[in-house]
Structure 1
Amino acid sequence: MTQAIFIETAKAEIAAVDDKKRRLNVSGVLRILGVSRNGYYAFKSRKPSERQKHKEFIEDKIIDIYDESHKNYGAPKITQKLHEIGEEISEKTVGNYMRELGIKAQYIKPYTATTINSDFSSELKNILDQDFSPATPDAVWCTDITYIWTYDGFVYLTSVMDLYSRKIISWVLSLTLEAKWVVQAINKAKSIRNVDEALIIHSDRGIQYTCEDYRKVTKDVVASYSKKAYPWDNACIESFHALIKREWLNRYKILDYKHAYKLVFEYIETFFNTIRIHSHCGYLSPNEYENKYYSEKIKNAC
């Protein structure tokens, strides 16, 4: 036997001895645990019950729904999605399963004021008066501006929401807080929705919404304003801006305007309007909720 073969054989024998040392003595372990050998092998060969298999199925579905929501849905929305596929399960049970799986909905931070209030008089009326549930689309829009931090400096998101469906019907991302971007967002919304009936547009009293350019672009609609220093009058759009940050933007180190634009587009156009279910919309997405309205309108007209 050559020296090389002898060394390799010796190594193999040493490895085999080490492997035997690492193996557990099953009888010794069972004796310590107070478990019989028959009971141990019966446990190993036991198949999961139907109840356990169904629980595992539900947990897989919960993870799928959670992932599809970009990890944003909590127990209420996940329960609703499970009901849609025929699973009868309570919200409490879904919550328990989520805790066991170590997953939870994103927390939305409280409102923080970010716009500068103008010094206008009481001629700015609150026509909306916190009536956030109009009966039809394009009856009430609301609009606001929020900031987005990037490594290259702040950018600013102006959004216009239809209060009927909570859909973001237009948005503009800008490098400045100039009023022209608000005007652009309003004109974009008008073009997309082709509005030809009475409409209320609600905003706060920021200078962008009380300047001459804004008054011109809203001269054919009813302008409504929140009470001074009272953000709850515009709660729906404020909530959306908190939502897009907590559910999406805050997950990223945003480099610059281009990066921010990509992220805002992805959230609004491919998730919020099209997929994300909303309790206000009967757990439909804004697009689905509006489509349902128009389908029923056509059906009733026939």
Structure 2
Amino acid sequence: MKHLSPKQKASIALAALRGEKISKLSSDYQVHPNQIGKWKKLAEEELAVLFTDKRKKENHSQERIIDELYQTIGRREVEISWLKKNSSLSYPERLTLANKEHPDISTLRQAELLDISRSSIYYQPTVNPGDIQIMNSIDKIFTQCPFYGHRRIKPELKEEYGINIGKKRIISLMKEMGLNAIYPRPKLNLSSSDKQHKKFPYLLKGLPIIRPNQVWGTDITYIKLKKYFAYLVAILDWYSRYVVAWKLSPTLENIFCIQALEQALKINKTEVHNSDQGAQYTSLNYINILEESEIRISMDGRGRCMDNIFTERLWRTVKYENIYLNEYADIGEAGQGLSEYFKFYNEKRRHQSLDYKTPAQIYFAKY
């Protein structure tokens, strides 16, 4: 658990008292849900004590309370003014606006207001430029041939891109990128799960997909940028191919997956949620949201990316039609470009498998 000041603990307890989900608070502040529950209970008890012998305390503390209220009101005015400027922005755009040197709003409070993780404000990618070039080449090979493991990628790198590197380095880079061939084999990537977490069976074998929101599939992929890279998560409706929600992140912290899920659930609710067995999807915080929403949980067999084939096809489409055609400088620029692309993909791009209708037409039955 992170070391938090008494003031920070009080802030978390008050947020819990206000009705914010303990699972979200746990994820945002990296504190165990049970601990937050204890702080919430303690806060309830202490608040009751504050109102005992009210008359005696009222006169004594009136001046102090007024001073604190003025300070709070002033702070809220600064926060509201700042938040109004930033409220309509995407996650990567909000990320770029966080200011560690802000004179009036702490980084913790900025993270709360912008709905981003505090650690992402301090995150500075340190990537070898040579590695970026190799990773981008690996990404192109893997996008075209998702059944390729490191043994096939090695000669392909040499022949197609003139890159001659060893097996161990390829494995290491694939692990960082989150790539794994579709046939069953030991995990090398972000899909490796925490052994203490509960696993769920694959529920979709032989299941006919006949309506929107019957099944949502989700996955994470590597996105190349000019000097470093980012991770993209999407939640896809399998029947209509409609992208219900997506998020970009500079790190693999599970908060961006949780935010994508919460965004999707504001739009609709699925009967079955399918994912790989990655740590992001087997985390307690993520599972709790699904179970609280009474959504059945399905997980791919280990190493079986083809169990989530529709999302794999989405990545190929996104990369060939957008990522590879645009050399995005940073995560903010990528977020803006992908926002425009997903709007086009959902509302304008006609799919042969949908009888040349758009995903939005099928998802919202507008035809």
**Distance of 2:255 and 2:263 partners within structure 1:** 12
Residue identity in the other structure for 2:329: L
For the residue of structure 2 that corresponds to 1:145, the secondary structure is strand
**Are 2:171 and 1:136 equivalent residues in the alignment?**
no
* Preserved contact between residue 145 and residue 157 of structure 1 (Cα < 8 Å): yes
**Are 2:190 and 1:149 equivalent residues in the alignment?**
no
Residue identity in the other structure for 2:212: P
Residue identity in the other structure for 1:182: C
Q: Which of residues 109, 119, 144 in structure 2 aligns to 1:109?
A: 144
Residue identity in the other structure for 1:202: N
Write the deviation string for residues 220-267 of structure 1: whole angstroms up to 9, x where unpaired: 211100000111001111110121011211112220011111121121
For the residue of structure 2 that corresponds to 1:218, the secondary structure is helix
Unaligned runs of 5+ in 2: 1-140, 147-178, 181-188
For the residue of structure 2 that corresponds to 1:205, the secondary structure is coil
For the residue of structure 2 that corresponds to 1:253, the secondary structure is coil
* Preserved contact between residue 152 and residue 257 of structure 1 (Cα < 8 Å): no
Residue identity in the other structure for 2:322: W
- Spell out the pairing of 1:40-79 with structure 2 (5 A cutoff): none
Unaligned runs of 5+ in 1: 1-106, 296-302
- Spell out the pairing of 1:214-233 with structure 2 (5 A cutoff): 214-219=286-291, 220-233=294-307
Deviation of residue 122 (structure 1)? 8.5
Alignment partner, residue 350 of structure 2:
277
Q: Which of residues 212, 226, 238 in structure 1 aligns to 2:284?
A: 212
For the residue of structure 1 that corresponds to 2:144, the secondary structure is coil
**Are 2:271 and 1:199 equivalent residues in the alignment?**
yes
In structure 2, the CA distance between the partners of 1:130 and 1:267, relative to structure 1 (3 Å rule), is farther
After TM superposition, what 4+ stretches of structure 1 lie above 6 angstroms from structure 2?
A: none
Deviation of residue 159 (structure 1)? 0.3
How many percent of aligned residue pairs carry the same amino acid?
A: 28
In structure 2, the CA distance between the partners of 1:119 and 1:253, relative to structure 1 (3 Å rule), is same
Deviation of residue 127 (structure 1)? 0.8
Alignment partner, residue 90 of structure 1:
none
Q: Which of residues 234, 242, 245 in structure 2 aligns to 1:167?
A: 242
**Are 2:308 and 1:234 equivalent residues in the alignment?**
yes
* Preserved contact between residue 109 and residue 246 of structure 1 (Cα < 8 Å): no
Look at both structures and tell me which one has the larger radius of gyration over its CA atoms. 1
**Distance of 1:215 and 1:287 partners within structure 2:** 28
**Distance of 1:208 and 1:130 partners within structure 2:** 26
Alignment partner, residue 363 of structure 2:
290
Alignment partner, residue 248 of structure 1:
322
Deviation of residue 118 (structure 1)? 1.2
Residue identity in the other structure for 2:279: I
Residue identity in the other structure for 1:201: H
Alignment partner, residue 45 of structure 2:
none
* TM-score (norm: length of structure 1): 0.57
* Preserved contact between residue 130 and residue 233 of structure 1 (Cα < 8 Å): no
Residue identity in the other structure for 2:200: L
* Preserved contact between residue 144 and residue 204 of structure 1 (Cα < 8 Å): yes
Deviation of residue 294 (structure 1)? 6.1
Deviation of residue 151 (structure 1)? 2.3
* TM-score (norm: length of structure 2): 0.47
Deviation of residue 162 (structure 1)? 0.6
In structure 2, the CA distance between the partners of 1:212 and 1:122, relative to structure 1 (3 Å rule), is closer
Deviation of residue 123 (structure 1)? 4.0
* Preserved contact between residue 231 and residue 248 of structure 2 (Cα < 8 Å): yes
Deviation of residue 116 (structure 1)? 3.1
In structure 2, the CA distance between the partners of 1:288 and 1:172, relative to structure 1 (3 Å rule), is same
* Preserved contact between residue 199 and residue 282 of structure 2 (Cα < 8 Å): no
Deviation of residue 129 (structure 1)? 2.1
Residue-pair matches, total:
184
